[in-house]
């Protein structure tokens, strides 16, 4: 009898080694190598569903708009770039209990109500457990099929027989192939199962949504190649003790990666939030020093968010600089600009900056609002509650122009704000609404003179 060959595979990056090692030499993670049976298969031509042929000139290819399947959730459609693209493979990740299965079951129900057959494959729950969730969400449709199966061969047969308009796999870590001699959820199983699902999606033109578990660091479990194989990667974020959820796109071959959808978890399921700016500002304290409002762009939609700063004398040799919701390296940079160009003595002050509502902002247009918040807290002078601050701050103290100033100002005017302090360079080429005043500034010093003047 032939000796069985084994190998050790890193469960984080997919690195293979003939012997066990405590530390993976590729990703430097400890205790991530797991023993797997190495099984030699006959070499076959890979079937990816893409027909091979002679090269074609790009000018000779006919361009046509890809039809999309839209759901009843406009927030979900926006994150995907306008709807579900037929033949796409979408990966959704999120913390346990955040609502991934609830979201996909509601999406499946909405498509089934449009007379489109949907196959919901549950690898973690039985059909009765899925039915209990469906009853709580009010989901009942004859075209929504539930399959409790983990064998990919049987799943592929059911897809071929049913020919659904949408397939949901919950989750990819529970699916396995008989040809792969390793446990479900391993690197080899996840890679091979995803590759087969991609072939099914492309050859049958069926969109497939797969759910992925996340690690303690928040990344999707399994090798990074999993995110490279799929067409779109969505993260479902939020605090389990709060009702609001954020669906964020980090990869999308058919749309923007900056889109964000806001949902609220109710007893009867997820409800989309059409005006997230009101949510982020509903608990704002009026007249508090260190609080400003910025109009940030999330994809194509402006969102008004409150930025809070707390400046206090330090009791240590090195002052602390902490930030939540923004890049932690941006705070020392802006504080250095305020100290050098404005004259604020911040070198012996602790600084804490937070974006209220759990939103993460990474665009340069929030620099001016952060600077005003820091100066307001340091001087203990509150800003006007109806002011909006927009602008990028340079190292010489100048306020630089930002993109899409019209949409930002219109969103501020819609929510009742009276003044917008923005870069002077952004005032040309558009008409200011009558209900709001726009003040252009060239430097941070000018913004402070306008924003902190009472």
Known binding residues for ATP are 94-101
d(CA 345, CA 154): 68
Residue appearing with tokens 């004398």: 313
CA trace torsion 107, 113, 116, 120 (10° rounding): 40
Burial of residue 198 (CB within 10 Å: 0-12, 13-18, 19+) is buried
Helices 367-379 and 330-337, packing angle to 10 deg: 60
* DSSP of 391-454: -EE-TTSBEE--S-HHHHHHHHHHTT--EEEEEGGGGSSSPPPTTSEEEEESBHHHHHHHHS--
Do 322 and 351 form a contact (C-beta atoms < 8 A)?
Answer: yes
Find where tokens 């023993």 sit.
Answer: 35
* Beta strand ranges found along 189-283 (DSSP E): 208-212, 232-237, 244-252, 260-266, 269-272
73 with 142: CB under 8 angstroms?
no
Binding residues: 94-101
């Amino acid at each position: 009898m032939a000796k069985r060959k084994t190998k050790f595979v890193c469960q984080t990056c997919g690195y293979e080694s003939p012997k066990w090692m405590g530390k993976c030499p590729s990703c430097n993670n400890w205790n991530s190598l797991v023993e797997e049976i190495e099984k030699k298969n006959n070499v076959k031509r890979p079937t990816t569903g893409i027909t091979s042929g002679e090269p074609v000139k790009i000018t000779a290819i006919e361009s046509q708009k890809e039809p999309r399947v839209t759901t009843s959730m406009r927030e979900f459609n926006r994150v995907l770039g306008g709807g579900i693209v037929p033949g796409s493979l979408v990966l959704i990740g999120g913390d346990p209990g955040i609502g991934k299965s609830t979201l996909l079951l509601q999406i499946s129900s909405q498509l089934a109500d449009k007379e489109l057959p949907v196959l919901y494959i549950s690898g973690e729950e039985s059909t009765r457990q899925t039915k209990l969730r469906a009853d709580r969400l009010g989901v009942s449709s004859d075209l929504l099929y539930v399959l409790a199966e983990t064998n990919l061969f049987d799943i592929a047969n059911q897809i071929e027989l049913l020919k659904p308009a949408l397939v949901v796999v919950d989750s990819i870590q529970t699916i396995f192939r008989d040809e792969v001699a390793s446990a479900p959820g391993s690197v080899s199983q996840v890679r091979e199962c995803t590759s087969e699902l991609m072939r099914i999606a492309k050859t049958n033109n069926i969109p497939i949504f797969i759910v992925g578990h996340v690690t303690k660091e928040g990344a999707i479990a399994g090798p990074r190649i999993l995110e490279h194989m799929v067409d779109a990667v969505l993260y479902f974020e939020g605090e389990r003790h709060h009702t609001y959820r954020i669906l964020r796109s980090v990869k999308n071959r058919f749309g923007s990666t900056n889109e964000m959808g806001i949902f609220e978890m109710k007893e009867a399921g997820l409800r989309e939030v059409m005006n997230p700016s009101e949510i982020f500002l509903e608990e704002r304290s009026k007249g508090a020093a260190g609080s400003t409002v910025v109009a940030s762009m999330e994809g194509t939609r402006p969102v008004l968010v409150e930025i809070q700063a707390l400046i206090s004398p330090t009791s240590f040799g090195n002052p602390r600089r902490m930030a939540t919701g923004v890049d932690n390296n941006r705070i020392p940079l802006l504080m250095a600009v305020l100290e050098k160009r404005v004259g604020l003595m911040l070198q012996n002050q602790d600084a804490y900056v937070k974006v209220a509502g759990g939103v993460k902002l990474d665009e340069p247009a929030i620099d001016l609002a952060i600077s005003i918040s820091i100066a307001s807290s340091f001087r203990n002078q509150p800003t006007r509650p109806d002011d909006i601050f927009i602008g990028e701050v340079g190292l010489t103290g100048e306020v630089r122009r930002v993109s899409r100033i019209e949409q930002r100002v219109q969103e501020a005017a819609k929510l009742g704000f009276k003044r917008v302090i923005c870069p002077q360079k952004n005032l040309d080429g558009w008409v200011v609404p009558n209900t709001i005043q726009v003040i252009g500034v060239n430097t941070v010093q000018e913004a402070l003179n306008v924003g902190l003047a009472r």
